[in-house]
A and B are shown apart, each in its own frame.
Chain A
Amino acid sequence: MSLREGSLDPQADSSVSFLPHLEAKIRQTHSLARLLTKYAEQLLQEYVQHQGAPFGSPGFSPPRLPVAGLSAPAPGHAGLPLAERLRLDAEALAELPPLLDAVRHRQAELSPRALRLLRRLEDATRQTRALGAALEAVLAALGAAAPGPRREPPAAPGPAGVFPAKLLGLRVCGLYREWTRRTEGDLGQLLPGGPA
């Protein structure tokens, strides 16, 4: 499959090896994904600290209820073609920023003195947008169909109950970690030397 047809196998198509800029872009995006995976882990730890026990306790098993608009990577995600996985990654990264922003707003009410947590949530919102845009650029350069235009979500009031809001924030931070980790893994397969 050639680049024009949307090939994602740089080893199979020798034309990719003559595209150093694209390779550089892929490396850069992969590095960003790796960095955000680390930040997402830190964000999750910071988040649970401020919610109080049992959040963060070893045996804590909150209900893994779906967040409308975004779910965790499906169990069969790893078995999908690389192009499809990357498209799903891009779609998830596009859904995450408003969710992270909503969590930040709620946490600003619940824990206004948790400045580091609030800053991490703000950074995550911005950085996820950047990673999503970079991934979309890579997909476009590879000829893979990029996600369509997004509609901005309407401004929303906070959830009614505090405990459900804490659970929701935990779920969003968990999904953020899962999707950045998945994006890092999927992009890694685009790097030269990655699996065909």
Chain B
Amino acid sequence: MLAGRPRPSAQSARRTPPLPLLLLCVLGAPRAESGAHTAVISPQDPTLLIGSSLQATCSVHGDPPGATAEGLYWTLNGRRLPSEHSRMLNASTLALVLANLNGSRQQSGDNLVCHARDGSILAGSCLYVGLPPEKPFNISCWSKNMKDLTCRWTPGAHGETFLHTNYSLKYKLRWYGQDNTCEEYHTVGPHSCHIPKDLALFTPYEIWVEATNRLGSARSDVLTLDILDVVTTDPPPDVHVSRVGGLEDQLSVRWVSPPALKDFLFQAKYQIRYRVEDSVDWKVVDDVSNQTSCRLAGLKPGTVYFVQVRCNPFGIYGSKKAGIWSEWSHPTAASTPRSERPGPGGGACEPRGGEPSSGPVRRELKQFLGWLKKHAYCSNLSFRLYDQWRAWMQKSHKTRNQHRTRGSCPRADGVRREVLPDKL
């Protein structure tokens, strides 16, 4: 057995004293050599505006008394400051003047250090140079399935204050209640916050952001919203993409409406986007409305396509607002059948159920109707023509030849019209 073992510390071994005492050990303890000096910098840890000036002093004291400031020098962030910035105020004090300060290099503050002649550190002070925060703006919020609220904002002055700036999202019910503070930050980016629960529906909230740093504070404008007006949901699940028989230019897309909102009255809108496998350009089909299936037409034969679907639960509980699109579903891939004939490019969501759909024919129809609307003075003519055109379309898969003749509807001189084939 060993006895009288040395302890890890010359002082009390078992108890860690409070930090201020630890600090005193760091600041005031003499070095191992005799005649060591220490110093004090004033001011300690000042906060300053960019472009302002600093006047500081380093007062040296130690053993033996009468320590001199001769030979002392300053460094800022490790770089020695030119001697013209310093002067001896008295035998034991070295002064420093720095003008037109730049913003702090690190959040923890710029290190201003007073050195002895031999380079040893006598004292230090940290400078905080920056700007007060500007008003945060552009607050946007959304609620996932009416259960929570996530908000994001833009910091004023693009966020660069050179000082740690604290952002606090606050919210309250508009007509009653106290201010609440959001607690879950950085959920969808550095300037965001998530309120996970205890939110009321059918009543407006006021939401704002407060920015605070060492130099001041700023408050955003207040955003007023009802949770029901900013609802989003999950992407549609179970998206399936399949071929339409042997049709080489079509794919069928099916999906399920998001289950989280299935019990609520709303008119969902859907959007589909698709792209060729080796392309980054998406094509968007916008006019899917409330369906949970769609046929893409006008595709290239023998080509792999990636397809995604998203949902907008607008009109929930009678809300008049547009709703917020969900994220896109995971990409689903499928390929069109191969064909010898070159396929047409581009396409749109086609109505399902037997109607022949051909890209060029549809384009011609749209062009024809567009021309009619622009030039026809007989308001009923376009509808009759469309009905007959539709009947013609149902009788044949493809139209290759069309006859163009002048029509009989009175109209302005010099205007050329395109009419339907002879059958009409």
Contact between A157 and B20, CB atoms less than 8 A apart: yes
Contact between A95 and B78, CB atoms less than 8 A apart: no
Flag the segment in B3-11, B85-93, B232-240 that touches A.
B3-11
Asked if B75 is an interface residue, CB under 8 A from chain A, the answer is: yes
- Knowing A69-B15, A151-B15, the reply to whether A161 touches B78 (Cβ < 8 A) is no
Asked if A55 is an interface residue, CB under 8 A from chain B, the answer is: yes
A151 to B12, CA, bound (A): 12
Nearest opposing residue in chain A for B38, CB measure: A63
Q: Within the complex, what minimum Cβ distance (angstroms) separates A110 from chain B?
A: 4
Contact between A110 and B11, CB atoms less than 8 A apart: no
Asked if A191 is an interface residue, CB under 8 A from chain B, the answer is: no
Nearest opposing residue in chain A for B77, CB measure: A53
Q: Within the complex, what minimum Cβ distance (angstroms) separates B43 from chain A?
A: 11
- Residues of chain A within 8 A (CB-CB) of B412 are none
A84 to B2, CA, bound (A): 8
A106 to B18, CA, bound (A): 13
- Residues of chain A within 8 A (CB-CB) of B27 are 161, 164
A6 to B1, CA, bound (A): 8
A5 to B2, CA, bound (A): 11
Contact between B108 and A61, CB atoms less than 8 A apart: no
Contact code string A65-108 (vs B, CB < 8 Å = 1, else 0): 11111110010000011011001100110010011001000110
Contact between A87 and B5, CB atoms less than 8 A apart: yes
Pick from A98, A153, A163: contact of B124, CB under 8 Å: A163
- Residues of chain A within 8 A (CB-CB) of B20 are 156-157, 159-160
Contact code string A37-58 (vs B, CB < 8 Å = 1, else 0): 0000000000000111111010
Contact between A62 and B121, CB atoms less than 8 A apart: yes
A147 to B107, CA, bound (A): 40
Contact between B109 and A52, CB atoms less than 8 A apart: yes
Contact between A69 and B12, CB atoms less than 8 A apart: yes
Asked if B280 is an interface residue, CB under 8 A from chain A, the answer is: no
Pick from B6, B16, B44, B123: contact of A74, CB under 8 Å: B6
Asked if B299 is an interface residue, CB under 8 A from chain A, the answer is: no
A157 to B18, CA, bound (A): 8
- Residues of chain B within 8 A (CB-CB) of A71 are 8-10
Pick from B22, B105, B123: contact of A68, CB under 8 Å: B22
- Residues of chain B within 8 A (CB-CB) of A196 are none
Q: How large is the interface on A (under 10, 10 to 19, 20 to 34, 35 or more residues)?
A: 35 or more
Contact between A84 and B5, CB atoms less than 8 A apart: yes
Pick from B9, B26, B108, B120: contact of A162, CB under 8 Å: B108
If over half of A's interface residues share one DSSP class (helix, strand or loop), that class is named, otherwise mixed; here it is: loop
Nearest opposing residue in chain B for A172, CB measure: B22
Q: Within the complex, what minimum Cβ distance (angstroms) separates A104 from chain B?
A: 12
Asked if B79 is an interface residue, CB under 8 A from chain A, the answer is: yes
Pick from B29, B45, B124, B125: contact of A65, CB under 8 Å: B29
- Residues of chain B within 8 A (CB-CB) of A61 are 119-121
Q: Within the complex, what minimum Cβ distance (angstroms) separates A181 from chain B?
A: 15
Asked if B374 is an interface residue, CB under 8 A from chain A, the answer is: no
Asked if B23 is an interface residue, CB under 8 A from chain A, the answer is: yes
Contact between B31 and A110, CB atoms less than 8 A apart: no
Contact between B121 and A68, CB atoms less than 8 A apart: no
Asked if B131 is an interface residue, CB under 8 A from chain A, the answer is: no
- Residues of chain A within 8 A (CB-CB) of B77 are 52-54
Contact between B9 and A66, CB atoms less than 8 A apart: yes
Contact between A68 and B25, CB atoms less than 8 A apart: yes
Asked if B14 is an interface residue, CB under 8 A from chain A, the answer is: yes
Contact between A153 and B5, CB atoms less than 8 A apart: no
A95 to B11, CA, bound (A): 13
Contact between A99 and B125, CB atoms less than 8 A apart: no
Nearest opposing residue in chain A for B108, CB measure: A110
Contact between A57 and B16, CB atoms less than 8 A apart: no
Asked if B17 is an interface residue, CB under 8 A from chain A, the answer is: yes
A114 to B106, CA, bound (A): 11
Contact between B126 and A162, CB atoms less than 8 A apart: yes
Asked if A158 is an interface residue, CB under 8 A from chain B, the answer is: yes
What are 19 A-to-B residue pairs whose CB atoms are below 8 Å? A52-B109, A68-B12, A69-B16, A69-B17, A81-B2, A88-B8, A95-B16, A102-B19, A111-B164, A145-B2, A150-B14, A160-B23, A161-B27, A163-B45, A163-B112, A163-B123, A163-B125, A164-B124, A168-B19
Known: A53-B77, A54-B111, A153-B16; 6 extra A-B contacts, CB below 8 A, are A106-B19, A110-B107, A145-B1, A159-B23, A160-B20, A163-B126
Interfacial residues, chain B to chain A (CB-CB below 8 A): 1-2, 5-23, 25-27, 29, 31, 44-45, 75, 77-79, 105-113, 119-121, 123-126, 164
List 5 tightest A-B contacts by C-beta distance, closest first.
Answer: A163-B124, A53-B78, A54-B78, A156-B18, A159-B23
